[in-house]
Amino acid sequence: MEEKGKKPPLLQVIDLHTSFTTDNGEVLAVNGVNFTLEEGKTLGIVGESGSGKSVTAYSIMQILEKNGHITEGQILFQGEDITHYSPKQMNVFRGHKCAIIFQDPMTSLNPVYTVGNQIEEAILIHSDKSKSEARAAALEMLRLVGINDAERRIKQYPHELSGGMRQRVMIAMALASEPSILIADEPTTALDVTIQAQILELMQELQRKLNMAIIIVTHDLGVIAQMADEIVVMYGGRICERGTADDIFYRPAHEYTKGLLRSIPRVDNMKEKLIPIGGNPINLLNMPKGCAFCARCDEAMKICIDEVPPELRIHDTHLASCWMNVKNQNYMEVPDKDE
């Protein structure tokens, strides 16, 4: 890890392992995840349920359930490892440096406080503003996230707002102390398409205004295609493939990604039959020895069952972990270790 006087990336996740202690044994939900997030960019993490995409996001914020813990790896924020932060340091990190919004804005807002109170609370905790200053700031945040009639809305309770408006309030709270990273965990899954378009547009607009980086976690390839500069594809707690949006959508180099793209209806050939991925999603309690996807992969070879594929550099910006690339020699000459 050489410095060379270069500014370290905004966020770097190195070999992250997160596991949960359950009655049925240790469950390794995140199993060696690496990625880098640059300032002002959007990273998309895509995967199905149980792929570890949300746990990766929660690990960065250290808001895992009680039985979950980071067992290995580093999370570097501007070059500083935050995995050893004390709870007090983490409280500063959360909110100031990095904020998160969740899928369901109803359950993440407190039903017995007005939205104004809740945004003010976030501001009061993270700054030395007075109560009236916080009120004014909260009002301004509501206007920033495009809520009309903010003076009235600030006095309302979450149940009086629609789903889209609640998600706007969540974004206002998250952005109250100007974080450099916004993590959005399935931010629009609970919303209708026209409202989803509003929220995604809002996130992009705020990103430009505040030069903030976004990590968007979703299972929706359409949302990812619209939002992400770079994409990480996860399956069974591991990264299958990562690269720019174009790498992943136009030159997928992992059988899982290829299968996913084949299984969704494409605009150009609507009436063609979909090609599903066979089998069922993986059970994390019962992980195979080799590649996590091998049981559902049509191209699986003997080595896939026995050994975990190494991450190979396919192209400058594009890395994938699939034995097929070794077989077809589809990688750059020197498969250098990323970090």
Please report how many Cα atoms fall inside a 13 Å half-sphere around the Cα of residue 8, on the Cβ side. 15
Please report how many Cα atoms fall inside a 13 Å half-sphere around the Cα of residue 132, on the Cβ side. 0
Q: Candidates 17-25, 78-86, 171-179, 264-272 — which segment interacts with other proteins by CB under 8 A? A: 264-272
Rounded to the nearest whole angstrom, what is the least distance from the CB of residue 286 to other proteins in the complex?
Answer: 13
Verify binding: residue 201, other proteins, rule CB under 8 A: yes
Q: Candidates 2-10, 75-83, 158-166, 207-215 — which segment interacts with other proteins by CB under 8 A? A: 158-166
Site string for other proteins, 38-67 (x = CB under 8 A): ----------xx------------------
Question: Contacting other proteins (CB under 8 A), which of 1, 112, 270, 334?
Answer: 270
> How many residues in total does the chain contain?
339
Rounded to the nearest whole angstrom, what is the least distance from the CB of residue 197 to other proteins in the complex?
Answer: 4
d(CA 93, CA 242): 26
Q: Which of residues 220-249 bind other proteins (CB under 8 A)?
A: 220-226, 245-246, 249
Verify binding: residue 317, other proteins, rule CB under 8 A: no
Q: Which of 238, 237, 123 is nearest to 178 (CA)?
A: 123
d(CA 55, CA 176): 24
d(CA 325, CA 195): 40
Verify binding: residue 273, other proteins, rule CB under 8 A: yes
Verify binding: residue 287, other proteins, rule CB under 8 A: no
Rounded to the nearest whole angstrom, what is the least distance from the CB of residue 174 to other proteins in the complex?
Answer: 21
Verify binding: residue 286, other proteins, rule CB under 8 A: no
Question: Count of CB atoms within 10 A of residue 1's CB?
Answer: 9
Verify binding: residue 10, other proteins, rule CB under 8 A: no
Verify binding: residue 78, other proteins, rule CB under 8 A: no
Instruction: Identify whether the C-beta of residue 17 lies closer than 8 Å to the C-beta of residue 71.
Output: yes
Question: Contacting other proteins (CB under 8 A), which of 73, 158, 164, 237?
Answer: 164
239 DSSP β-pair partners: 234
- Select 49 or 86, whichever has its Cβ closest to other proteins: 49
DSSP 246-300: HHHHHS--SHHHHHHHHHS--STTTTSPP----S-PPPGGG--SS-TTGGG-TT-
Question: Contacting other proteins (CB under 8 A), which of 24, 86, 132, 280?
Answer: 280
Rounded to the nearest whole angstrom, what is the least distance from the CB of residue 126 to other proteins in the complex?
Answer: 30
Question: Count of CB atoms within 10 A of residue 253's CB?
Answer: 24
Instruction: State the DSSP H helix or E strand holding residue 230, giving kind and residue range, or none if neither.
Output: strand 230-235
Q: Which residues sit at the interface with other proteins, rule CB under 8 A?
A: 48-49, 148, 162, 164-165, 192-198, 200-201, 219-226, 245-246, 249-250, 259-267, 270-271, 273-278, 280-281, 296
